[in-house]
């Protein structure tokens, strides 16, 4: 019959309707532990953080090089031939220090937890 809805149509519509899911901004509980030695978990967290950082940087550098080459602002290979001056080297050093702080933050958290649980 043309005017009668099919069985289960309401349920299917409710299941397929877009829902807004709000995720908590702060993680609850402790970090998961996968290995007996917590140091291995820390190293795993560091490697994971570094992998994410490197992946984003590779994509951004690739995009910039392609855009600059396409726009004929830089010839191909110009990035590899670049030698930074003192000011650029200083900025890079500061950026590198900040990166290391972010990547190794997991060790600081571990040390703080360890100190808090010490008798």
Spatial contact of 45 and 34, defined as CB atoms under 8 Å apart: no
Residue 39: predicted pLDDT:
84
Spatial contact of 27 and 35, defined as CB atoms under 8 Å apart: no
The pLDDT > 70 percentage for the chain reads: 82
Residue 9: predicted pLDDT:
61
pLDDT tens-digit series, residues 36-56: 788 888 888 888 988 998 999
How crowded is the C-beta side of 12, counted as CA atoms within 13 Å? 5
Average pLDDT of the chain is: 83
How crowded is the C-beta side of 10, counted as CA atoms within 13 Å? 3
Place of tokens 């392609």: 66
| 18 has pLDDT over 70 | no
Residue that wins the pLDDT comparison between 68 and 15: 68
Query: pTM higher than 0.95 for the full model?
Result: no
| 1 has pLDDT over 60 | no
Q: How sure is the predictor about 74, in pLDDT bands with cuts at 50, 70 and 90?
A: very high
């Amino acid at each position: 019959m043309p005017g009668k809805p099919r069985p289960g149509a309401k349920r299917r519509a409710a299941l397929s309707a877009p829902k807004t899911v709000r995720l908590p901004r702060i993680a609850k509980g402790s970090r998961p532990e996968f290995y007996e030695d917590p140091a291995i978990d820390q190293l795993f967290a560091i490697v994971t953080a570094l992998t994410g950082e490197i992946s984003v940087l590779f994509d951004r550098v690739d995009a910039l090089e392609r855009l600059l080459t396409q726009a004929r602002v830089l010839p191909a290979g110009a990035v590899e031939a670049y030698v930074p001056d003192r000011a650029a080297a200083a900025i890079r050093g500061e950026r590198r220090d900040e990166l290391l702080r972010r990547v190794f933050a997991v060790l600081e958290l571990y040390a703080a937890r360890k100190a808090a649980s010490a008798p």
